[in-house]
């Protein structure tokens, strides 16, 4: 299939549009979750334990 037709098919076919919303927001959620974990890993292991919940 011609690449132009493929792109055209993407935009002219029916939904579900929710796939776009869920993909974009879900991808962002994954990236943000990883970034927050990466920031918090900056503390010493024994210090993290001090604030851990029982």
Please give the residue ranges that form the binding site for other proteins (CB under 8 A): 10-18, 20-21, 24-25, 28-29, 32, 35-36, 38-40, 42-44, 46-54
Give whole-number Cα distances, 43 to 17, 25, 32, 35, 48, in Å: 41, 29, 19, 14, 7
Q: Which is nearer to other proteins, 2 or 44 (CB)?
A: 44
Q: Which is nearer to other proteins, 1 or 14 (CB)?
A: 14
Q: Which is nearer to other proteins, 2 or 52 (CB)?
A: 52
Bond preceding residue 16 cis, omega within 30 of 0: yes
């Amino acid at each position: 299939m011609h690449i132009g037709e493929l792109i055209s098919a993407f935009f002219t076919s029916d939904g579900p549009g929710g796939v776009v919303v869920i993909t974009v927001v879900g991808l962002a959620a994954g990236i943000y979750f990883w970034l927050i974990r990466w920031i918090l890993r900056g503390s010493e292991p024994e210090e993290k334990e001090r604030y851990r919940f029982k």
